[in-house]
Amino acid sequence: MGPLLRHAMDLTQPFVASLLKEVKPHFVFYDFTHWLPALARRLGVKSVCYWIISPASVGYFLRDEPNTNALLEPPIGFPPSVLKLNPHEVRSWRPRCTLKEYGCGDMNFVQRLIMSIDECDALGFKSCREIEGTYCEFLEKKFNKPVILAGPVIPEPPTVSLDETWANWLDQFKAKSVIFCAFGSEAILKLDQFQELVMGLEITRLPFLAAMKPPEGFNTVEEALPEGFKHRTEKSGIVHGSWVPQPLILSHPSIECFVTHCGSGSLWEAMVNECQLVLIPHLGDHFINARMMEGELRVGVEVKRGDEDGFFTKEAVKETIELVMEEESEIGKEIRANHAMWRDFLLTIGLEDSYMDEFVQKLRRLLI
């Protein structure tokens, strides 16, 4: 699906050119549209390659190397860090380095992204220097481009209440006792991993709410649940196969643990709430995000899985949840303290405004 969507966007090039000529903007923001910065330059428009994934992930993955096993370690010049990939994670990324993009000749996905950066006037990210400053400096040196940060871009506190159905269900449990598991709108697990995950939630014997896409080959989550699971968990567990209001659920007093696929949006939402993080990265930048959360910020714990096959067990899920929820464990104490520190920082009054003001100022400098 991804290659076809990118090709469809490529087909809009004449329409985009016509629009830019008519509107005559100062800037155009884009991501994988590698042809856009050259077009913008011909029309006197500045281009900003804006990313919704982290500077660390862009710095780690975007290297045009024929040997994809090199991805097991950070690239040359990368800041000293705990960031690296396991063999199964490299294999999941390999098609992006080897398969040719539909309609782009010999160009693969990674080459498309590198060209998108090479031709732009600046790189933009939703991040902040306090968390990823060293990775931004690496990108500035590597690509010889200014990196401008919009800040964490945390959504405003919700002004609406949680839907009565979810509120009534969560309200029946005591504070800091419920596990919330959500894997975003795109992450789809294989059946065996889907079942290991939900059984891992079950054997904690704690109440849980899991918002999951049906696994590969299934139309509903119900038909993929392990035999007898629904009956065993009917009073204390829900596996929901559709959208849920994640920010509102994360802020509910009963939520204590958040099991996440490590998408950037989900992690930022979790960081401004008080839930403890259990990390099960799914693909691509999720792996780097997980290493950042566990290894650098020390605000969560990643579920152990096989280095070669990437398989995790229900026991590993259970053990990790218990580890982060145990208040007296050394790891539990550490991640609580670090999470509280970063939460306070991200909710600092004026932080978002100061970053956005600086973002605008740096854009203006590009026009000089």
- Count the neighbouring beta carbons within 10 Å of the beta carbon of residue 67: 7
Whether the Cβ atoms of residue 78 and residue 70 lie closer than 8 Å to each other: no
pLDDT for 312-349, tens place per residue? 999 999 999 999 999 888 999 999 999 999 999 999 99
| Per-residue model confidence (pLDDT) at position 66 | 66
pLDDT of residue 26: 96
Partners of 123 in the beta sheet? 49, 147
Q: Alpha-carbon distance 184 to 167, whole Å?
A: 20
Q: Which long-range contacts (CB under 8 A, 24 or more apart) does 76-79 make?
A: 77/138, 77/141, 77/142, 78/138, 79/134, 79/135, 79/137, 79/138
> At a CB cut-off of 8 Å and minimum separation 6, what does 156 contact?
none
d(CA 113, CA 108) in angstroms, rounded, equals 9
Neighbours of 14 (CB within 10 A): 9
Task: Round to whole Å and give the CA distance between 278 and 322.
Answer: 10
What is the pLDDT at residue 187? 85
Q: Which domains does the chain have, with CATH numbers?
A: 2-10+21-154+351-366 (3.40.50.2000), 164-346 (3.40.50.2000)
Q: What is the pLDDT along the chain (368 residues), one digit of tens a residue?
A: 778 889 999 999 999 999 999 999 999 999 989 999 999 999 999 999 999 899 999 999 998 776 777 889 999 899 988 899 999 998 888 878 787 888 778 888 888 899 999 989 999 999 999 999 999 999 999 999 999 999 999 877 777 888 899 999 999 999 999 999 999 888 899 999 999 999 999 999 999 999 999 999 999 999 999 999 999 998 899 999 989 999 999 999 999 999 999 999 999 999 999 999 999 999 889 999 999 999 999 999 999 998 888 899 999 999 999 999 998 889 999 999 999 999 999 999 999 999 999 999 999 999 98
The model carries a pTM of: 0.93
